[in-house]
Amino acid sequence: MIILFVDSSNKSVSVAILEEKKVLGEFFLDSGLTHSQTLAPMIDSLLKCTNVSAKNVDLFSAVIGPGSFTGIRIGVSTINGMALAFQKKCMGMSSLLALTYNVGEFEGLVCSCIHSREDEVYAGIFEKKSGKINIIIQDRVIKIFDLIKMIKKYKKKTIFVGSGSLMCYNEAQENFSECIEFLSFHDDVCVRASNAGKALFDCVSPGRLVLSDFLEPNYLKLTKAEKDLNICV
């Protein structure tokens, strides 16, 4: 199976082409340019560099959130359009689950956290054991203080990953620093399309594939337009 995966859910943007779990190629940018400027050219260039025709892609996939509302919309709409044009399947992936694939050989609790606002993060808690990743706490928006209290209950070695990891780590240091580790390298706090693709292959099954019309963003909270609508009602 050939899969084209894109991530534009946060500040960085990446595109990967995989054959099963083998990464045929990946482009990654964190240049400050808008995703609307970079995503389409990156896809076109990567297809050419890997000698893969878009019509031969079996599965079109995107990180569907949580993260930047605008970035998520760009990635999801791009993948929906390509899947529809080539009459192929598409599937979404959580940015928080994808981040767990950044931590390498680490085993223990993995807390994926993406900055939302001053005292909040998008977070999910996972356990990595014997190379397998299990969901402990589903993706949610949560106050940093409440997240640390939740992690504390497990009393397990924990690693933070994602753009909110430093804030969570600093908060955790005051509570149980003896069993906390922090993934400090910049590359490792970014979602990467190749890791999202690997995560997808670990959980994909034919029954979970959905047509492009049904691939929707997962914001985890209301957009500004939705909040304004609620106020009007």
Q: List, in order of start, the domains of the chain with CATH numbers.
A: 2-96+190-232 (3.30.420.40), 104-182 (3.30.420.200)
Confidence check: pLDDT of 70 > 80: yes
Tokens at residue 207, please? Answer: 């029954």
Does pLDDT of 80 surpass 70?
A: yes
* pLDDT mean over 33-37: 91
According to DSSP, residue 164 is labeled T
187 band by pLDDT with thresholds 50, 70 and 90: low
Instruction: State mean pLDDT over 86-93.
Output: 92
The distance in angstroms from the start CA to the end CA of the chain is 47
Q: Answer yes or no: is pLDDT of 203 > 60.
A: yes
The confidence score (pLDDT) of residue 81 equals: 95
Cβ(167)–Cβ(121) under 8 Å? yes
**How far apart are the C-alpha atoms of 195 and 84, rounded to whole Å?**
24
Asked whether residue 54 carries a pLDDT value surpassing 90, the answer given is yes
Mean pLDDT of the 207-226 span: 73
What pLDDT shows up at residue 104? Answer: 87
pLDDT score of 85: 94
pLDDT of residue 185: 41
The per-residue pLDDT for 118 is 81
Contact between 218 and 65 under an 8 Å Cβ cutoff? The reply is: yes
pLDDT of residue 176: 63
Whether pLDDT at 121 is above 90: yes
- The answer on pLDDT for 125 being more than 70 is yes
pLDDT of residue 147: 94
pLDDT at residue number 186: 41
Alpha-carbon distance 37 to 25, whole Å?
20
Overall size of the chain counted in residues: 233
- The structure tokens listed for 220 are 């985890």
DSSP for 22-76, written as a single string: EEEEEEEE-SS--HHHHHHHHHHHHHHHTT--GGG-SEEEEEEESS-HHHHHHHH
CA quadruple 38, 43, 49, 52: dihedral, nearest 10: 180
Task: Compute the distance between CA of residue 49 and CA of residue 58 in angstroms, rounded to an integer.
Answer: 18
- Lowest mean pLDDT across 4-18, 51-65, 193-207: 193-207
Rounded mean pLDDT, 132-137: 94
What is the layout of strands, in order, in the sheet containing 120-129? Answer: 132-143, 120-129, 108-117, 158-161, 180-182
On the question of pLDDT at 192 being above 70, the answer is yes
Provide the whole-model pTM.
Answer: 0.90
